[in-house]
Amino acid sequence: MTGPDPAVAATRLAVREHLTDVPRGSLLLVGCSGGADSVALAAALAFEAPRAGLRAGAAVVDHGLQAGSADVAARAAAVCARLGLTPVEVLQASVATTGAGLEADARAARFCALEEVAARHDACLVLLGHTRDDQAEQVLLGLSRGSGARSLSGMPVRRDRFVRPLLALPRATTRAACAAYGIEPWEDPHNEDDSFRRVRARRVLAVLEGELGPGFGAALARSADLLREDADHLECLAHEARATLPPAAGHPGVDLDALAALPRAIRTRVWRILAAEAGAPLGDVSAAHVESLDALLTSWHGQGPLHVPGGIAVARERAAIRFSPLPTEAELHGAV
């Protein structure tokens, strides 16, 4: 008796490892675009979930960013239904333009839609089809931003209810699994569009694999795992430091001497925490912002106030560092 195709077996095993602690009867959803990665994941979940006493469904997000996207979403939903997943929902995502770029805006809209459907169905987990290749590309993009260990640590296997079971498998495995199932996955035309940074990172990675060896992408992914452990620990220490950071005596804001006394590796992370507490979107606070903030302590010569994302001003006032909202246009012009 022959077993399943090796690629199919690999995807099923990857999914199975994330089902052991899930309460029986729970619903799991897979986010499916119709591409090879998410289709292979959907097929693996459809096979493994019933054997673990679990229910499995799918959510297909239509961003509405390409002509015919509704048809693509309908085909992906039909594939999921044929695999035996239920419920299967097609979700319309509203992609808001924030200035962060189309990729980031689409990702934010996608996660918002997946969170909504998961909450509505009381789904225990939402499975995402990112692979080791995606992880390597993420690390390259982090290198290009120069934002430190957190930026280089890539995507976590799990965050809240979102799980990426295939993160240790190469993209070639998901394509081989789809071929074994006899499913022709959707090829996203955006994957050939050089205007997207991730597409350019993918092509750079292919060049590096050719020049430095086929294990280069896997090495980047392993480095991300190690850096994530370090970043998690340092961020834990930073939150502990923030919790004990005293306010400035007689002034609103954070005590300057206490902040300056922190080791730089902790202090830079505390700056991010302080910015987030003041209302800055954490993902938009860059390394350049943090360096400018730290200069208020290490090389202050009267500069400021500094501005960080979210309309926040940061100023050094006597013995204090103070975060405050920037004035509105109406306030600047004296309007009531």
In a domain, 252, yes or no: yes
In a domain, 192, yes or no: yes
Q: How far is CA 268 from the centre of its chain?
A: 21
252 and 194 in a common domain: no
| Res. 288 pLDDT band, cuts 50 70 90 | confident
- Is residue 117 a contact partner of residue 110, using CB atoms and an 8 Å limit? no
Q: What is the pLDDT of residues 211-234, one digit of tens each?
A: 888 888 889 888 888 888 888 899
110 and 167 in a common domain: yes
Instruction: Measure the CA–CA gap between 171 and 221, rounded to whole angstroms.
Output: 13
- Is residue 112 a contact partner of residue 125, using CB atoms and an 8 Å limit? no
Please identify, among 167, 198, 229, the residue that sits at the C-terminal boundary of a domain: 198
In a domain, 335, yes or no: no
- Predicted pLDDT of residue 164: 97
Looking at per-residue pLDDT, the higher value among 157 and 150 belongs to 157
187 and 271 in a common domain: no
- Predicted pLDDT of residue 68: 85
Q: With 0-12 CB in 10 A as exposed, 13-18 as middle and 19+ as buried, what is 165? A: buried
Sheet strands side by side (includes 125-127): 88-92, 55-62, 27-31, 125-127, 162-163, 158-159
Q: Residues of the chain with pLDDT > 90: what percent?
A: 49
263 and 173 in a common domain: no
Q: Please give the DSSP secondary-structure letter assigned to residue 44.
A: H
190 and 252 in a common domain: no
Instruction: Measure the CA–CA gap between 115 and 123, rounded to whole angstroms.
Output: 9
Looking at per-residue pLDDT, the higher value among 179 and 288 belongs to 179
Instruction: Measure the CA–CA gap between 295 and 2, rounded to whole angstroms.
Output: 65
Q: With 0-12 CB in 10 A as exposed, 13-18 as middle and 19+ as buried, what is 185? A: buried
Which CATH number is 317's domain given? 3.30.465
Q: Residues of the chain with pLDDT > 70: what percent?
A: 93
Domain extent at residue 167? 6-130+158-198
Which CATH number is 177's domain given? 3.40.50.620
Instruction: Measure the CA–CA gap between 114 and 102, rounded to whole angstroms.
Output: 18
Sign of CA dihedral 284, 286, 290, 293: negative
Hey, is 14 helix, strand or coil?
A: helix
- Predicted pLDDT of residue 331: 47
Q: What is the pLDDT of residues 9-21, one digit of tens each?
A: 999 999 999 999 9
Q: What is the pLDDT of residues 2-49, one digit of tens each?
A: 789 999 999 999 999 999 999 999 999 999 999 999 999 999 999 999
Tokens of 83: 């695999």
Instruction: Measure the CA–CA gap between 249 and 162, rounded to whole angstroms.
Output: 43
176 and 268 in a common domain: no
- Predicted pLDDT of residue 146: 65
173 and 261 in a common domain: no
33 and 164 in a common domain: yes
- Is residue 89 a contact partner of residue 59, using CB atoms and an 8 Å limit? yes
| Res. 96 pLDDT band, cuts 50 70 90 | confident
Sheet strands side by side (includes 312-317): 254-255, 320-325, 312-317, 306-308
Sequence letter at residue 181 = Y
Q: Which long-range contacts (CB under 8 A, 24 or more apart) does 289-295 make?
A: 294/264, 294/267, 294/268
Burial 192-227 (b: 16+ CB within 10 A, else e): eeeeebbbbbbeebeeebeeeeeebbbebbbbbeeb
- Is residue 220 a contact partner of residue 213, using CB atoms and an 8 Å limit? no
In a domain, 295, yes or no: yes
Please identify, among 143, 171, 198, the residue that sits at the C-terminal boundary of a domain: 198
- Per the structure, the count of domains in the chain is 2
Place of tokens 């050089």: 194
In a domain, 231, yes or no: no
Instruction: Measure the CA–CA gap between 272 and 264, rounded to whole angstroms.
Output: 13
322 and 191 in a common domain: no
Place of tokens 């050939």: 192
In a domain, 137, yes or no: no
In a domain, 259, yes or no: yes
Q: How far is CA 236 from the centre of its chain?
A: 19
Bin 131: left if φ > 0, else alpha if -120 < ψ < 50, else beta.
beta
- Predicted pLDDT of residue 147: 60
In a domain, 267, yes or no: yes
User: φ, ψ for residue 52 (rounded to 5)?
Assistant: -100, 10
Q: What is the pLDDT of residues 51-90, one digit of tens each?
A: 999 999 999 998 877 888 899 999 999 999 999 999 999 9
Looking at per-residue pLDDT, the higher value among 325 and 167 belongs to 167
274 and 185 in a common domain: no
